[in-house]
Amino acid sequence: MPSQTGGLLAGTADLSVDGTTYMVTGDFKYKPGNKKRETLGGMDRIHGFKETPSAPYIAFNLRDWGGLTVADINNWTDVTCVAKLANGKTVIGSAMWTVEEQEVDSTEAKFDVRLEGTDNSVTEVPTS
């Protein structure tokens, strides 16, 4: 149960990668977990579950602008991503790399970025 209610909880994110600030247009998502569980059911009952590794990630949309070279983002490896969210939480991704290619929507001047990393590469620093 939250200790405080009311106030700003969602809607904004300030993002930097390796110290450079970028314009986030939306869809900021992150997953700090590093395992995926699936239920194993048989014809008679549920037998248990299996667990497989899953890459932690940080994903977002960025705004394209004249001073940005989108191709450089595709070359990101071993980067540190820091996001400050509306609720005061800070999300940090360490030693991350881009996956998927960046495809720019020139109507809105935006594109998707997804960073993935190894176990425990995404951490959350809650508000105090």
Report yes or no on 85 lying in a domain: yes
Higher pLDDT: 17 or 9? It is 17
Answer yes or no: is 114 within a domain. yes
Give me the CATH number covering residue 103. Answer: 2.40.30.200
pLDDT digits (tens, 9 = 90+) for 77-106: 999 999 999 888 999 999 999 999 999 999
Q: Which of 1, 37, 23, 32 is nearest to 110 (CA)?
A: 23
Determine the structural domain holding residue 81 and report its residue range: 13-125
| Global confidence as pTM | 0.86
* Domains of the chain: total: 1
Cβ neighbours of residue 116 closer than 8 Å, sequence gap 6 or more: 55, 56, 57, 96, 97, 99
Of residues 115, 106, 104, the one with CA closest to residue 28:
115
5 occurs within a structural domain: no
Q: What does each C-alpha distance from 43 to 40, 46, 47, 95 come to in angstroms?
A: 10, 8, 10, 43
Q: What is the pLDDT of residues 14-27, one digit of tens each?
A: 999 999 999 999 89
Residue 68: CB atoms within 10 Å = 17
| 23 SS3 class | coil
In a domain, 37, yes or no: yes
**pLDDT tens digits along 20-76:** 999 999 899 999 988 999 999 999 999 999 999 999 999 999 999 999 999 999 999
